[in-house]
Amino acid sequence: MKTNYLVILSSLLLSSCAQFVPPTGGIKDEIPPKLLKTQPLNKTINFKGSTVSLEFDEVIDVSSLRQDLLVIPEQPGAYTVKQTSKGVKLVFDQPFKDSTTYTLNFRNGVKDINERNPAQNLKLVFSTGDKIDSLSVSGKIQDLWAKTEELDVTVGLYNLTDTIPILKRKPDYFTKTDSSGNYLFENIKNNKYRLIAINDKNQNLLFDQKNDKIGFLSDTLNLTENKKLETIEIYKSDLIKNKLKRSIPRENTFTVQMERNVKELNVLYNDPKDTITYNVKTNELTFFNHPVLKDTLFVKIRTVDSLLRVDEFQQKVYFTKPVASTSTRKRRPADLPIISSIKSGEAVTLPFEYVLRFETPIVRIDTQKIRLYNDTTIGPRPALSWIDKNNTQLKISVPGKAKEEVSLRIQSNAFENYRGDTSANYSQKNKILKKDDMGLIEGSTKIKDGTKIAQLIKNDTREIIREISFTNTFRFDNVVPDIYDIRIIIDVNKNGIWDTGDFINNIQPEKILLSKEPIKLKANFEIRDVLIE
């Protein structure tokens, strides 16, 4: 039974400003609130009121009701929540639509005051017409890439008789997925619909290409009977052109930030003599005042994103004037950081390459101060080459001569950037993996025809270790022992990348398959016949 002290507290709850403080001590309350009556009654027809009330067998907490309550279909205007002694009233400021069946799904919005036990399966259905619509639609939503069930995804049904484009209006009916990714529409009118699922981050029932994931049913849903649909997968489908977000001029740098990450970036100059150095990071381009720019420079920036879409921007580049200083002291050079593509201590296979990355262009390099050691023996001068024309990425080729480990040692002052900063002493060691230290993973997919892309992914970091194209069987050999996942992209158009979907043109994204369980690869071990479904 419920404890009597809850009744004593009921008078405090009549005030909208009351602070709900559950009593301490006693037997733990595990019984959820029980609904005693509603106004209107469930399944009422020809309802013309504007107030909905519910009464329970105990004092309740409705502080989260606004976040949890789903009014389906959406009701124009607003409503107020009024707490009563053992219940709640919802007062709507606009009349309900004529001849429409409404479902109020309270989800977890009504709880008891003591242990916050939510009322179970709390729904209220009524109609403003002379019948209750009775059709239902159910299904499941999951993430295309991770294959995980998605909680609180908005699933919408859009009436096709409306002339406003679907992505510019709110759904006629909507619901939310549960923790297992399941959704359920009930009391839906017989009609033709399009079904769309979005993760609706700003909760406005509209698809935001920049932030939301989307998934949709390709076919029109002709609802004449109850439907259980196939699983729909949601994914990012940002088809908006890349844009320049902002530019930041400083004395020595000019930074351009873009809306989207880029895979490739090129700067085109009207006159090749005007070139200056720059560096690129994901969605950011930084120009350096080197050589010193005497006037404003006009350039064209051409980007390629991960979907191979090309965008171009016109941009003027300039640097701010030096700030006047009363001091005559020269700037003191700083330590120049070195970032290696391979971490110290990381196991490697021969031959391989170190790529040293610098934040700023290097203008001087002393090759005599860069040495490789095979085990404990000093090797020949390493082969060095700049990857980019701005001298920010240096490749050091390591031949296959070491038995146990390779050491890279760089003496101080080996590198100097355009501002006079120099590098400090730097060293790292990397263990050499032999064939017996490594393993093999081989398998196929349930989809036998066509070109596919297999990705070997580290389970903990989600880093793509390798990527290969195949038709029948994929094979990763000489793999470092670790825990992996295998992702398969069904490359329908054979362009070597994953292609997103497009609701406007009713194009589904290319399919993604993922290994169901992590693959634990041990040294000198072969895992064959892996089936990715």
Using one digit for the tens of pLDDT, what is the confidence trace for 439-448? 999 999 999 8
**Residue 375 sits in a domain of what CATH number?**
2.60.40.1220
* Model confidence at 254: pLDDT above 90: yes
Say yes or no: 428 and 345 in one domain.
Answer: yes
Average pLDDT, the chain: 91
Closest CA to 56 of 106, 101, 98, 127: 106
* Model confidence at 392: pLDDT above 70: yes
Domain final position from 415, 432, 449: 432
Higher per-residue pLDDT: 267 or 23: 267
Strand runs (DSSP E) across 218-277, as ranges? 221-223, 227-228, 232-236, 244-249, 253-258, 264-269
pLDDT, one tens digit per residue, over 290-304 is 999 888 999 999 999
In a domain, 330, yes or no: no
Confirm if 497 and 515 have CB atoms less than 8 A apart: no
Mean pLDDT of 16-38: 68
pLDDT, one tens digit per residue, over 106-142 is 999 999 988 899 999 999 999 999 999 999 999 999 9
Host domain of residue 39: 5-127
Is the pTM higher than 0.85? The answer reads no
Say yes or no: 180 and 218 in one domain.
Answer: yes
Task: Look at the chain and report how many structural domains it folds into.
Answer: 5
Domain final position from 432, 457, 481: 432
Say yes or no: 22 and 116 in one domain.
Answer: yes
Say yes or no: 379 and 485 in one domain.
Answer: no
- Structure token pair of residue 149: 């069930």
- pLDDT score for 33: 94
- pLDDT score for 313: 92
* Model confidence at 328: pLDDT above 90: no
Say yes or no: 345 and 418 in one domain.
Answer: yes
Say yes or no: 382 and 493 in one domain.
Answer: no
Give every CB contact of residue 78 below 8 A, 6+ residues apart in sequence: 92, 93
- pLDDT score for 114: 85
In a domain, 326, yes or no: no
Mean pLDDT of 311-325: 87
- Structure token pair of residue 310: 């090309």
Confirm if 474 and 443 have CB atoms less than 8 A apart: yes
In a domain, 250, yes or no: no
Say yes or no: 198 and 166 in one domain.
Answer: yes
Say yes or no: 395 and 485 in one domain.
Answer: no
Q: Output phi, psi for 53, to 5 deg.
A: -130, 150
Say yes or no: 200 and 271 in one domain.
Answer: no
In a domain, 247, yes or no: no
* Model confidence at 6: pLDDT above 70: no
In a domain, 102, yes or no: yes
Burial track 69-101 (b if 16+ CB lie within 10 A, e otherwise): bbbbbebeeebeeebbebbbbbebeeebeeebb
3-state helix, strand, coil in the chain (%, to 5): 5, 45, 50
Residue with the two structure tokens 């930084």: 286
**Residue 123 sits in a domain of what CATH number?**
2.60.40.3710
Confidence of residue 494 (pLDDT cuts 50, 70, 90): very high
Burial track 344-359 (b if 16+ CB lie within 10 A, e otherwise): eeeebeeebebebebe
* Model confidence at 15: pLDDT above 80: no
State whether the Cα torsion 212-200-506-504 is positive or negative.
negative
In a domain, 244, yes or no: no
Residue 511: exposed, middle, or buried by beta-carbon count in 10 A (0-12, 13-18, 19+)?
middle
In a domain, 329, yes or no: no
Domain final position from 109, 127, 145: 127
Three-point CA angle 176, 181, 185, nearest 5°: 45
Q: What percent of the chain has pLDDT over 90?
A: 81
Confidence of residue 26 (pLDDT cuts 50, 70, 90): low
The secondary structure of residue 420, as a DSSP letter, is S
pLDDT, one tens digit per residue, over 415-424 is 999 999 999 9
- pLDDT score for 482: 95
Mean pLDDT of 197-212: 93
The secondary structure of residue 77, as a DSSP letter, is S
Confidence of residue 326 (pLDDT cuts 50, 70, 90): low
Say yes or no: 161 and 230 in one domain.
Answer: yes
* Model confidence at 487: pLDDT above 50: yes
Say yes or no: 90 and 165 in one domain.
Answer: no
The Cα-based distances of 255 to 3, 319, 398 in angstroms read 65, 10, 35
Say yes or no: 428 and 444 in one domain.
Answer: no
The amino acid occupying position 348 is V
